[in-house]
Amino acid sequence: MTLSGPHGIFVDGNFRLYVADCNNNRIQRFDSGSLNGTTIVKNGSSTTVSLDQPTGIVLDADGNLFIADRGGNRIVRFEYNGTLLCIIGCTVNTILKYPETMSFDSNGNIYVTGRENKGIQKFALATNSCNTPSITTILQSSTVPTNIQTTITNQSYHSTEIMQSSLFVTTIQVTAPTLLFIAPTCSNQTYIGIHCNISATPCDLSNLCQNNATCQNINTTYRCNCLLGFNGTECQFDQRPCQPNRCWNNGTCNKLTNETFNCTCASKWAGIYCERMINYCENVSCKNEGICRPLLGDYRCECLDENYSGRHCEISSESILVHKIVSKLFAVIAILAIAIVIACVIIMDILKYCFNIDPVRNYKPKSVQKKKRQRPEIIRHIYKNARSIV
């Protein structure tokens, strides 16, 4: 069954949501993170009291649920043990008229707003008191012109559930004895609460020990028994060698001793904490001046010249191949020409100086040949009238 005309809501300390499902005459509770509600109060929960269009809802510290029952003109209380009781508007139907919402103050007073009341009603809830219910006097007054008398009406109500109530339009004056709350004395000193059902030991009052430690009560104090690898008064310090996220990038932490560890890294990662990506370019050489770029688990050679391609830039384009072939041919021809010239010079020298054969003799000019055949002459120069040197 889905919600129909929901009105009031209340959220407790555990982030549980209470909803007054008005048209379905029930109270729904939604736990934190849940989209499915649980009916905790509905028609038939009690043999004497039934809900009729609930609109307002408040939960007190003892787990009691107070409900503004608009159709029944009353306030009912659903106790933690499953009992549904009427506390306001049970016998006198004129006290409440279609109550909509309500709230508590720090003194335990209940404030109720209603559709037909056109004001705010205040009630003092009698809880944990053995005194005879008091009589509350309500003073109502209206502002009128000075030449008309003001009508004052006094009304008194007796109730075992209501200690004080007041209905006002403009001004209100309430006289009532001061309410005192006396906490009950539990027979077992380790329990507290109105019903003596709340443990007062430190371990039960609060989750003091951290990291799954065991809390041990010692008189009025406590002690945390820490798991292996944790220390501190509340086991708040994690000294385990293999803490969560010790090894990065899905690495596995291996405990060697109580203080040392090592990380088994996943593929593609290395380092003490598996923090470093493996550099696959360390043993790779890209050809033709290509640049190696490390990747996650791989590498890539970036070719700087568009005429090269391939994983290592080893594939040349057709134009580069043609240029290489032409260059090699020119180089071979030049080398052969130089080698032939050098060989000719060497052979001619061997023939001339070793075998006295001059292969180019017939090609020399005749003047050169004649000059070589003439006998050598000695020329002596004589100077005339030379002055003697004393």
Over the stretch 177-205, which tens digit does the pLDDT of each residue have?
A: 555 556 668 888 778 888 888 888 889 88
Alpha-carbon distance 127 to 150, whole Å? 37
pLDDT of res. 379: 75
Alpha-helical segments (H) within the chain: 202-205, 318-353, 366-373
Q: What are the helix and strand counts (H, E) for the chain?
A: 3, 29
Residue 343 pLDDT grade (very low, low, confident, very high; cuts 50, 70, 90): very high
pLDDT of res. 260: 92
pLDDT of res. 131: 43
Residue ranges of E strands in 72-196: 74-78, 84-88, 99-104, 109-114, 120-125, 136-141, 153-157, 162-166, 171-175, 191-192
* Residue recorded with tokens 């109105």: 194
33 φψ region: left (φ > 0), alpha (ψ -120 to 50), beta (else) = left
Q: Which has more confidence, 93 or 299?
A: 299
Phi, psi of 160 (to 5 degrees): -80, -10
Hey, what are 337's tokens? 């020409």
Give the tens place of pLDDT for each residue, 12-23. 888 899 999 998
Residue 226 pLDDT grade (very low, low, confident, very high; cuts 50, 70, 90): very high
Give the tens place of pLDDT for each residue, 92-107. 666 788 888 988 887 7
Full-prediction pTM beyond 0.75?
A: no
Hey, what are 282's tokens? 């360390």
The whole-number average pLDDT for the span 290-296 is 90
353 pLDDT more than 70: yes
The whole-number average pLDDT for the span 199-212 is 88
Hey, what are 124's tokens? 């003092």
pLDDT of res. 380: 74
pLDDT of res. 149: 42
3-state secondary structure of 95: coil
3-state secondary structure of 351: helix
Sheet holding 153-157, edge to edge: 153-157, 136-141, 171-175
pLDDT of res. 338: 95
How far is CA 240 from its chain centroid?
24
Q: What percent of the chain has pLDDT over 70?
A: 76
How far is CA 17 from its chain centroid?
25
pLDDT of res. 370: 57
- CA distances to 108, 122, 364 from 105, rounded to whole Å, are 6, 10, 138
Please tell me which of 93-97, 132-136, 268-272 the model is most confident about, judged by mean pLDDT: 268-272
The whole-number average pLDDT for the span 69-93 is 83
pLDDT of res. 4: 87
The whole-number average pLDDT for the span 173-180 is 50
- Amino acid letter, 309: S
| Neighbour tally for 209: CB within 10 Å | 23
Alpha-carbon distance 166 to 156, whole Å? 10
| Neighbour tally for 124: CB within 10 Å | 20
Virtual CA dihedral for 121, 27, 43, 78, nearest 10 degrees? -60
62 pLDDT more than 50: yes
